[in-house]
Amino acid sequence: MPGDGAPALGAPAVGAPAVGGHAFGAPTAGAREHRRLILARHGQTAWNAEGRFQGQADPPLDATGLAQAERLAAEVLALRLDVLVSSDLLRARQTAMVVSRACGLEVELDRDLREIDLGLWQGLHRRQASERFPEEYRHWSHL
């Protein structure tokens, strides 16, 4: 839920309502198929809490992140998902597995959903990145 620290759910695309209340439902006879894509961010890791860049580094969820995943699962359950896809990074997998248990769906892992590789920034605090790579950090912070 917004503001409570839980991973945010993405809003459905405009003009793409759920069919039959399902995220990926079958269309009725003669109707165009409509799909709804729900996006959720992984729960918190210690690196999130510390302000570290994660990229493709693989820290696990912390206790707060696991609680966020539980709240997300309760919220998503009402959406009656048909498919559950996750990045293969640990923090995303852990979040998806909590949702999976609640929804009774298998998690499909997709490497293409990984966060971008942040190279030498991975594991650094924002301050460290700004000190070690001042020009690049300045450019990144203005994107």
* Active site residue ranges: 42, 115
Give the 3-state DSSP-derived string for the chain, with helices as H, strands as E and coil as C: CCCCCCCCECCCCCCCCCECCECCCCCCCCCCCCCCCCCECCCCEHHHHHCECCCCCCCCECHHHHHHHHHHHHHHHCCCCCCEEECCCHHHHHHHHHHHHHHCCCEEECHHHCCCCCHHHCCCEHHHHHHHCHHHHHHHHCC
